[in-house]
Structure 1
Amino acid sequence: MHTKNDDKRKPSEQILSVLAKNVKTLRVKRKLSQEQLGELCDFHPTFISMMERKQRNVTISTLEIVARALEVEAFQLLMEQ
């Protein structure tokens, strides 16, 4: 059963889109496959794919791990470019 509080815990479509676009753009710019980025982060490649397809709500610590692997600051992954 879903409650109103469930919706409060979902990120906005806008922030998911910005994160997805930035992760993919930076990954491609660094010539990394989803598998390679996953290895750098110690995440399964499917997790990286789901981030890039706006299907994952990530934690701040996950954001920091991905940012470190992409050689940017975590906040940069959430900024429109």
Structure 2
Amino acid sequence: MDVVTRLGKRVRYLRTEAGLSQEELAFRAGMKRSYLSDLERGTRNPTVRALGRLAQALTVHPGQLLED
């Protein structure tokens, strides 16, 4: 599994564990819901800024976005 797909699965997992909808997480991270959806499906390469925003919105260390 490539890193983008792995990242997307991990973000989805962390989001659902936090009890957040895509819309709520996107709002907290300052991004569009469609962008978050693309990230979760592994169809878009995230920027470093997006990774930082997601980690902050999920209250995790950025490195945790790539853990299994």
TM-score normalised over the length of structure 2:
0.92
Look up the equivalent residue of 2:56 and give its one-letter code: R
Residue deviations 1:2-36, cap 9 Å, x none?
xxxxxxxxxxx510121011100000001100000
Secondary structure of residue in 2 paired with 1:31: coil
One-letter amino acid of the structure 2 residue matched with residue 56 of structure 1: R
What is the aligned partner in structure 1 of residue 2 from structure 2? 14
SS at the partner of 2:16? helix
Residue number in structure 2 paired with 1:49: 37
Q: Detail structure 1 runs of 4+ shifted over 2 Å in the superposition.
A: none
| CA–CA distance in structure 1, aligned partners of residues 64 and 6 of structure 2 | 10
- Distance in 2 (CA, whole Å) between partners of 1:41 and 1:69 is 5
2:62 corresponds to which residue? 74
Percent identity (aligned): 35
The DSSP-based 3-state class of the residue aligned with 1:32 is coil
- Identify which of 17, 32, 38 aligns with 1:29: 17
If asked which structure has higher relative contact order (CA below 8 Å, sep 6+), I would say 2
Flag structure 2 segments of 5+ consecutive residues without an equivalent.
none
Number of residue pairs matched by the alignment: 68
Which has the greater radius of gyration? 1
The answer for unaligned runs of 5 or more in structure 1 is: 1-12
